[in-house]
Every structure is written in structure tokens, then in C-alpha cells.
Amino acid sequence: MEPIAARIEAISQSLPKGVTLVAVSKYHTEDAIVQAYQTGQRIFGESHVQELLPKAAHLPDDIEWHFIGHLQTNKVKYIAPFVSLIHSVDSLRLLREIDRQGARCQRTVDVLLELHVAQEESKFGLTVEACRQLLAQGEWKQMKHVRIRGLMTMASFVDDEQQIAREFATANQFWEEAKLRYFADAPWFDTRSWGMSDDYGIALTEGANMVRIGSAIFGQRTYPGQ
């Protein structure tokens, strides 16, 4: 296996201009993150608050930490002071808590709404209809300490590339709808976070401008207890 630095450089160089790479470092060591950092990568994604906190404390301050995992409301307070983008907002309740914690630390926290387009039941995220309702309900417009930057989604874990493409296309269409209806005058609503190691090529053809890549950079993850 080639070293992390070689893999991340190859991936970065292959991405079209204007596409942001989030290096997903969950379950990988601080040393692995440093190897990627030394190539110039500054955006890293983590899925667990208890793993992100020590990494953020030990590693360089100019890293932009993205939170990509399911976020419990009672943990928002730990990451609100420093997180640069939360990809996984899937309820109004969570949005309210991020706004509240943003106010407490005098920040505006950037977020994406997580859309559920995959077939699998187990995935988190708002259905297109639920997301439409959240936006129509309008309470988010009064929130001064949270800013909706766009949408995130994950496709089904299947081999059928057409299905994956259809799911990303659904997210992309809804992004266009939301942009037109609610964010036409909001240049910050600019983010379409779809695509992981196995499907980012498809995601790019379906409008992604942010990809979240873990194992293709860092290798397979070993989960605790395995």
C-alpha cells in the first residue's frame, strides 16, 4: 500500500477545480492525520465527538474540522466552539441546539442539512419531504448563530451505479429547489456534500462540490473491538 501522502496527493490532483476534499480521518491515528496535513490538506472529517475532541486539542490549529457523523443534541456544546462545518443536521431540534450553543460561544456555526435519499432504513437524515417542511416552517431564518450552507447525503451501499447516480441526482435536484426558493440571495448556500471513497466519481457527475473520502486515503479503518 502506498503511503497516505501519495494517496491524498493523487486524489486531490484528480478532483476538478472547485471541489473541496474532506479527508475523513475517523478511527485513524493523529500520526496518519499529520501525514496528510504535511501534504497541505487542512480539512478533516470526524464522526464521533469523543474522538474529535482529543484530536482537535493535539493537532495544529489551522485544521478545519468537519463533523460528519450523527450528532446528539447533548454533545453540540463540545464542538460548537471550534467546528467549521457540521454536515449532519437532521432535525429542527438539532438546528436549534446548534444555534443556542453558537450564541453561547459567539460564533455562527456553518451546517449542512443531511438528506436521506438511500434505500436503507438505517441511515440518518431528513427525507426530501421532511427537509422541504423544515425549510418551509421558516424558524431557521431567525437563527443568528447557525448558517445553512447546503446539503449532505449518502447513497445506498450497493454496486448498482445507476441507483447511486439516481440517489445523488435526487439530492442535487432538491438542492436546486432549495436554492431557488430560500437561498437565491444567499451566496453562502453553495455546498453539495456527496461522495465517499467508493462513489465520489459518480457524485461528481451528479453535482457534488464537496467529497468526503476516508479509506481511499487512510486505508481500511479498524473499529474498536475488532
Ligand X SMILES: *Cc1c(COP(=O)(O)O)cnc(C)c1O
- Of 77, 94, 84, 27, which Cα lies nearest the Cα of 61? 84
Residue nearest to ligand X (CB): 214
At closest approach, how far in Å is the CB of 43 from ligand X? 13
CB of 92 to ligand X, least distance (A): 21
Q: In the range 26-45, which residues lie near ligand X by CB under 6 A? A: 26
Minimum CB distance to ligand X, residue 2 (Å) = 16
For position 116 contacting ligand X by CB under 6 A, the verdict is no
Which of 143/152 has CB closer to ligand X?
A: 152
Residue identified by cell 453562502 is 188
Q: Report the site for ligand X in 43-102 (rule: CB under 6 A).
A: 47, 68-69
- Per the document, the length of the chain is 226
Comparison of 63 and 210: residue with beta carbon closer to ligand X? 210
Q: What angle do CA 182, 195, 174 make, to 5 degrees?
A: 25
The answer to the question of residue 4 lying near ligand X (CB under 6 A) is no
Contact positions toward ligand X, by CB under 6 A? 24, 26, 47, 68-69, 154, 196-198, 212-216
